[in-house]
A and B are shown apart, each in its own frame.
Chain A
Amino acid sequence: MKLSEREDELEQLLVEREVRQFLNYEAELLDERNLHEWFDHVADDISYRMPRRLMHENTAASFSEKGYYFNEDYGSLEARVKRFDSEYAWAERPPTRTERYVTNVVVDEYDDDEVQVTNNLLVYLSRGDSEDHSFYSAKRHDRLRRRDDTFELVDREILLNQTVLSTDNVSIFL
């Protein structure tokens, strides 16, 4: 097949590369707890949700219709970000050490403005001066909007694997 006939495929590859680069950059900002810079990449019409996973007998992927851990809009997400500036936000004093692994990035659809992408997230968490560590594992459905030469996050659904969480709290963004 001639290269010219593979233009669509090339374009998709480029989009995937851009998206992967953005998700990796975002992960780095969150790992560094550079929360304000991260929040600069949040669209003002954001919907950021983490529904409660249910454990049913006949399906592995069942989520609550009413129960969730996060159901944030721009204002409530901003309040959460700003709260960590307070010297009394003890959950993150000292900060959790995290490493995010973003994998299985699949661009589901895209146009000139927005990209819909599914990806997997593994977060390693370590706290205090103990050897204890924990993980969150989730699938994310993200919608990213082009803004200048980068993206902003418009919609994120975080589908955590655990039904019963094994951390003190969720004081990080996923």
Chain B
Amino acid sequence: MGEAAVFFLHGLAYAGLLFLVSSGLTLVFGMMNVLNFAHASFYMLGAYFAYSILHYTGNFWLALLISPIILLFIGAFVERYLLRKVHVHGHVHELLLTFGLAYIIQEAVKLLWGTTPQAMPLTGLLADTVNFFGVVYPVYRLFIFCLSALLGLGMALLLFKTRIGIIVRAAVDDNPMVDALGINVPLVFMGVFAVGAALSGFAGVAAGPLLSVFPGMAGAILVDAFVVIVMGGMGSLGGAVLASFIIGELQSFGVLLFPDFSLALIYMLMALVLVLKPEGLFGEKQ
């Protein structure tokens, strides 16, 4: 019983991490119809920036604050000076551009920080364990889960309950009309992309102490995040929540129950969902 609870919590922590990554991905896709291949690379950059900040200041909270802000600016820059330029050529070129960007970031990270995995040691409260219904459990994993729940909730409130959210959603539905109303639509899209990048930065900082920081970390999570947004339904936040939970738990219990097939299990489940419902769990029919 105790062991199952630990694995459930492990799954929950990974689900939180996956949601942090895939929420930004799904936000950018849902709002701008751009599949950002560099999203996981932003996540990796977030982790490496956090690693450096932690290395020089010793303060994790500072890393958690500053690293996403740096990513916010990187995201804004990428949208303004690269993505916008190829928009006229259509979605494939937008996608290919982010693809090339991922290629570059991958190499740049190796060049700047080396190829050996780096640990991000935690101190204080975050390094502690708690007694959680009779199970001794590290605080940090619970923290990741809470952080992702909080950010997810905040994002939903922002999108569906505020004026900013109304403008963003309207800009997606009827771009010329919103433009005619005097709202700077390109700025809105730049903002959406930047926020997506910042979210991936948060995910990267959160992942650092858990998985350590290494150049392969982008590739490792990219496919999982793609599975999440396909399974949940492209562009659906609710779908991303559910699919993150399923994939997170499947990863965790898969390792416990079928150590040889845990990797394949996820793809098989995805294929099953696809056969039954091609548009994903919460997706809209094409």
Q: Do A and B come from one complex?
A: no
Residues of B within 8 A of A (CB): none
